[in-house]
Amino acid sequence: MNKNEDKLVRLFPKYFELFQLPDGAKDEEIKVFRACKTWKCDRESFTPSFEEMGCDIKLCKDPTDPGEYSLSTYEKSKDIKRFVNLNSNYGKPYKIAVGITKKECGKVQRTKERIKKKNSHVDWWLYEDAKPCENFKMIEDFQAFLEEERANRGV
């Protein structure tokens, strides 16, 4: 392992030893949406699923899938809307935050670059002690946001 690889490993949480970060993971600023369980831009709403499951590898569908360890975000508002509608963990009214994936917080990859996927899901592998919520703001009324977005597109 060279010095740069050693530094990278130390930036990620210890559990990153359980999987291989995809070659396509990179530093990229992407405007994304995140569903917030707490209805706030806080650490709890920006916790990767693996950490929410207590870092228990037995609860992973596929422990070799790097997506199991990332923070899920979406580039398109229609995809985050579909996600919250299908996921019973998010009560109405849904609280969605919008922000930018910052390289200081971790590496990102559009999931469809790695696996066959039709939506705009973006995996974000966070560094230890990253605070991605600081780069996001809550959308107060997501339904109104969607309607305004549609009107601006002329739909």
Tens of pLDDT, residue by residue over 128-144, are: 999 999 999 999 999 99
Mean pLDDT for all residues in the chain: 90
pTM for the model? 0.88
pLDDT at res. 107: 97
For 90-99, how does the pLDDT look when each residue is reduced to its tens digit (9 = 90+)? Answer: 767 789 999 9
For 51-107, how does the pLDDT look when each residue is reduced to its tens digit (9 = 90+)? Answer: 999 999 999 999 999 999 999 999 999 999 999 988 867 767 789 999 999 999 999
Q: Which of 109, 122, 37, 39 is nearest to 76 (CA)?
A: 122
Average pLDDT over residues 118-126: 96
pLDDT at res. 59: 93
CA angle centred on 24, ends 97 and 101, rounded to 5°:
20
Query: Does the bond joining 93 to the residue before it have cis omega, within 30 degrees of 0?
Result: yes
* Dihedral class, residue 138 (left if φ above 0, else alpha if ψ from -120 to 50, else beta): beta
- Domain residue spans of the chain: 3-153
